[in-house]
C-alpha cells in the first residue's frame, strides 16, 4: 500500500506546479465556453433549448480535467527529466521528482512514453486528437529542440500555442464530438494566444536564478528585470480592457478582468522579490481565468436583451 501511494504521489508531483497554470484554467475555459455556446443557441432558437445539454456540459468537468491532465503529464515528465531542468529544479523546486531522488530519468522515460500513448487514446475517444498531436509536437520543440531556452520570442510562442491547444481541447471534450470547436468562436483562440504570448513571461520573473544557470534566454534575463516588468504590466492593462470590449461585455463583464489586471500590473512593478513574484504569478493565472469567463457574461447579456425585446 505504501509503495502504491509513493508511486501515485510521484506521478502527482510531475504536474503539481501546473494545476494553477494549465489544468484548472483550461477546465474553466472549456466548461464555461461550452456553456456559453449552449446558452447562445438556446437564446437564438427556442427549439434548441435542452436542459440536459447544460447538465451534460457541467457533468463533463471530470472528463475535461482528465483530458487536460493526461496530456500534460508526458510533457511535464519530458520537461523535468532533461539534465538542465534537474539542475535548475535543484535550486528552484527541490521537492520535484528528480532532485528529490524519487525516480531516475531513465525510468521516467518509460512512464513518459506510456503517458503519450494514453493521451493519444483518450484524445481519440473524446474527439480532441488534433490538440493532442499538436501538444506532442510543441512539447518536443520546447523540451528536445531547445525551444524553451533559445529565445524568449520562441518560448512565448510555444507557450501561447500550448495554451490554445489545452483550452480548445478542453472545450472539445466539454461540448462533445457533435461540434468542432475550431468552428465555434475561432477568433477567441487568437485572443487567448495574444494574451499569453505577450504576458506569460510573468512565470519567468521568480525563476531567474535557475534560468540563469541554464543560460535560458527569458525576458527578464535578456531585457533586464526592470524592463521585463513593464513588458508584463502594459499588455495586461491593455488586454483587461480590450478582451471585454471584443465580447461586447456589460459593465459587470469588465469588473473582474480590470480589477485583477490592474492588481497584477501594479504588483509586478512595485513588488519585486522572488516570493512576491510567485504571488503575482498566481494572480496572473486568476486574471487569465477571469478572461476565460467572458463568453458567459456576453451571452448572458444577449439573453437579457432578447428577453427585454
Q: What number is the average pLDDT over the span 61-78?
A: 96
Residue 301 has pLDDT above 90, yes or no: no
Instruction: Detail the DSSP E strand segments found in the chain.
Output: none
146-174 burial, b at 16+ Cβ within 10 Å, e below that, comes to: ebbbeebebbbbbbbbbbbbbbbbbbbbb
> Which of 41-45, 168-172, 231-235 ranks highest by mean pLDDT?
231-235
Q: What number is the average pLDDT over the span 159-187?
A: 85
> C-alpha distances in angstroms, 120 versus 63, 134, 174, 185?
15, 11, 17, 25
Q: Which three cell numbers stand for residue 222?
A: 535578456
Q: Write down the pLDDT at residue 43.
A: 61
Residue 30 has pLDDT above 60, yes or no: yes
Q: What number is the average pLDDT over the span 278-299?
A: 91
DSSP assignment string, 18-53? TIIIIIHHHHHHHHHHHHHHHHHHHHH-GGG--HHH
Domain count for the chain: 1
Structural domain boundaries enclosing 166: 2-308
Model confidence at 307, in pLDDT bands (50, 70, 90)? Answer: very low
**Which residues, including other chains, have CB under 8 Å from residue 114's CB and lie 6 or more apart?**
none
d(CA 96, CA 103): 10
Q: What tens digit of pLDDT does each residue of 99-133 get?
A: 998 999 889 999 999 999 999 999 999 989 999 99
Residue 183 has pLDDT above 70, yes or no: no
Answer for the pair 29, 167: CB distance below 8 angstroms, yes or no.
yes
Q: Write down the pLDDT at residue 68.
A: 97
Q: Write down the pLDDT at residue 46.
A: 52
Residue 260 has pLDDT above 90, yes or no: yes
Model confidence at 53, in pLDDT bands (50, 70, 90)? Answer: low
Q: Write down the pLDDT at residue 26.
A: 96
Amino acid at each position: 500500500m505504501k509503495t502504491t501511494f509513493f508511486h501515485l504521489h510521484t506521478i502527482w508531483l510531475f504536474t503539481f506546479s501546473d494545476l494553477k497554470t494549465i489544468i484548472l484554467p483550461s477546465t474553466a475555459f472549456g466548461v464555461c465556453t461550452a456553456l456559453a455556446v449552449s446558452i447562445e443557441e438556446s437564446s437564438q432558437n427556442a427549439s434548441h433549448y435542452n436542459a440536459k445539454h447544460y447538465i451534460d456540459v457541467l457533468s463533463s468537468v471530470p472528463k475535461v480535467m482528465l483530458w487536460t491532465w493526461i496530456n500534460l503529464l508526458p510533457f511535464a515528465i519530458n520537461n523535468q527529466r532533461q539534465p538542465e531542468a534537474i539542475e535548475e529544479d535543484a535550486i528552484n523546486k527541490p521537492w520535484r521528482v528528480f532532485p528529490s531522488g524519487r525516480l531516475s530519468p531513465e525510468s521516467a522515460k518509460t512512464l513518459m512514453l506510456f503517458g503519450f500513448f494514453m493521451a493519444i487514446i483518450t484524445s481519440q475517444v473524446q474527439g480532441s486528437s488534433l490538440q493532442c498531436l499538436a501538444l506532442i509536437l510543441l512539447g518536443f520543440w520546447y523540451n528536445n529542440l531547445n525551444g524553451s531556452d533559445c529565445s524568449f520570442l520562441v518560448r512565448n510562442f510555444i507557450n501561447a500555442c500550448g495554451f490554445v491547444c489545452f483550452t480548445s481541447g478542453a472545450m472539445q471534450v466539454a461540448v462533445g464530438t457533435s461540434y468542432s470547436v475550431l468552428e465555434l468562436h475561432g477568433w477567441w483562440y487568437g485572443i487567448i494566444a495574444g494574451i499569453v504570448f505577450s504576458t506569460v513571461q510573468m512565470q519567468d520573473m521568480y525563476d531567474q536564478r535557475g534560468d540563469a544557470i541554464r543560460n535560458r534566454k527569458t525576458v527578464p534575463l535578456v531585457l533586464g528585470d526592470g524592463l521585463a516588468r513593464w513588458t508584463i504590466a502594459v499588455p495586461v492593462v491593455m488586454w483587461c480592457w480590450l478582451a471585454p470590449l471584443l465580447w461586447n461585455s456589460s459593465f459587470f463583464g469588465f469588473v473582474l478582468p480590470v480589477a485583477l489586471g490592474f492588481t497584477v500590473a501594479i504588483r509586478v512593478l512595485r513588488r519585486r522579490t522572488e516570493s512576491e513574484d510567485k504571488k503575482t504569478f498566481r494572480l496572473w493565472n486568476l486574471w487569465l481565468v477571469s478572461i476565460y469567463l467572458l463568453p458567459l457574461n456576453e451571452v448572458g447579456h444577449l439573453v437579457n436583451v432578447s428577453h427585454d425585446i
